[in-house]
Chains A and B, each alone.
Chain A
Amino acid sequence: MKPRSKRLLLLGGAAALLIGAVAMVLTAFQQNLVFFHTPSEVVEGKAPVGRAFRIGGMVEQGSIRREADGVTVRFAITDTAKAIPVSFRGALPDLFQEGKGAVAQGTLGPDGMFHATEVLAKHDENYMPVEAQYAIDKARDAARTVQQ
């Protein structure tokens, strides 16, 4: 065997071992690598208890309510299967809207209300001009009317 074939084999073997090791580590840390839990996971009790965590999903349509004090907001985060009520005191990001993605950090109270200390907006990877968005919204409304 030529020295360079030997080196290539050694390098290939080392790379294979390394990739295997990294794959195993990532699988082991799967739980810690998630940035947020979905409302369904929270309802099933998969979210951490007694410490802060994040929930992510869509802000439920028609769920945003402002309290009388003007700074407390209540809304629900849903993954279309389950929804979790959230209360938050503070400024919301500009992209925070009903029907759009959001991630809230905080703790789950005994009453099932999620008390958020931070709310982030999560936007999707679709970029389109205003006219295209308008056309899509109109088409969706039309489809909804036909279904009804």
Chain B
Amino acid sequence: MKTANFDDRIKRSKSLLRFAAPQMFYPLAGTFAPWCLAVAAVLTVLGLWIGFFVAPTDAQQGDVYRVIFIHVPAAWMSMFIYLVMAFWAAVGLVLNTRLSFMMAQALAPTGAMFCFVALWTGALWGRPTWGTYWVWDARLTSQLLLLFLYLGYIALTQAIDDARRADRAGAIIALVGAVNVPIIYFSVQWWNTLHQGASVSLTRAPSMASAMLWGMLVMALAAWAYTFAVVFWRVRSLILERERHTEWVGAELAAHEGRA
């Protein structure tokens, strides 16, 4: 009866760490996910409205620069999600916690999606401004490598049937690939590239008009909220799938069928 005791103990626990247990995180994620999605929807509408109707036309590029309101938040998110994925993979490897690996797996498809969006909108932006869809400069090449790392992580974790081995193999890709993220970010400083430098950074004042900056930041927050929402839902599915043999999942499903 060890498991029953553990379930009781964890339900009475007041520590925040109790949410590291899948059966505690499952309802928490279910509560937060719809709110995150609502916030994402509101911020996306607000951000696009600022981007298309409030922000002024750029003196140099005209209206084509407005792709920045999708391109930059997507690119930021694609890099940040990879770092978070690597963080959870490292936590999983060191502490042997189940939920950390599930978090890493739940993040990967959204990161890959944002990475693809960044590359795609970048190509559409490059044609009218630079005069080409694609060049092999350090920034573009390292971002393409990021997409391959995401796809490689997803493919590898899906190819191995044993969940524990799949987690460990995927964690290695996540951790090794994390080296690429600072390379993407600093590529425009370290080498001369066709891609321009960062307009917004922590170390100096942003080099863009404030309405443009606000549009970009609101869209970035929308991307964060969207990521939280879909990752919470995805991790719930993963929890149910992996913990399907446990008592609490059985009870959860029985209660759900009772309601339906």
Contacts and interface: CB of A to CB of B under 8 A. Distances in A.
A26 interface: yes
Contact of A120 (B57, B94, B95, B135): B135
B186 to A, nearest CB: 10
B77 interface: no
5 contacts: A14-B175, A26-B190, A33-B190, A34-B191, A123-B61
Given A26-B190, A96-B131, A124-B197, 18 more contacts: A11-B90, A92-B131, A94-B129, A119-B131, A120-B131, A120-B135, A121-B129, A122-B130, A123-B129, A124-B196, A125-B199, A125-B208, A126-B199, A127-B60, A127-B207, A128-B58, A130-B56, A134-B59
A52 interface: no
Given A35-B135, A95-B129, A133-B60, A125 B198 contact: yes
A129 B131 contact: no
Nearest to B132: A120
B237 interface: no
Interface of B: 56-61, 65, 68, 90, 93-96, 128-132, 135-138, 175-176, 179, 183, 190-194, 196-199, 207-209, 212
A120 B44 CA distance: 33
Interface of A: 4, 7-8, 11, 14-15, 18-19, 22, 26, 30, 33-36, 38, 56, 92-96, 100, 103, 118-134
B207 A125 contact: yes
Contact of B197 (A36, A118, A120, A125): A125
Top 8 closest A-B pairs, CB basis?
A93-B131, A133-B59, A129-B56, A127-B208, A35-B137, A125-B196, A125-B199, A126-B207
A56 B192 contact: yes
A80 to B, nearest CB: 15
Contact of A11 (B58, B93, B96): B93
A20 to B, nearest CB: 10
A95 B59 CA distance: 11
B138 A35 contact: yes
A123 B60 contact: yes
Contact of B208 (A4, A95, A96, A126): A126
Contacts of B191: 30, 33-35
B59 A132 contact: yes
Contact of B194 (A26, A35, A100): A35
A124 B96 CA distance: 47
A65 B41 CA distance: 51
Contacts of B59: 128-130, 132-134
A129 to B, nearest CB: 3
A7 B94 contact: yes
A126 B204 CA distance: 13
A4 B176 contact: no
Contact of A127 (B131, B194, B199): B199
B130 A121 contact: yes
Contact of A132 (B132, B199, B209): B209
B212 A127 contact: yes
A83 to B, nearest CB: 17
A19 B178 CA distance: 10
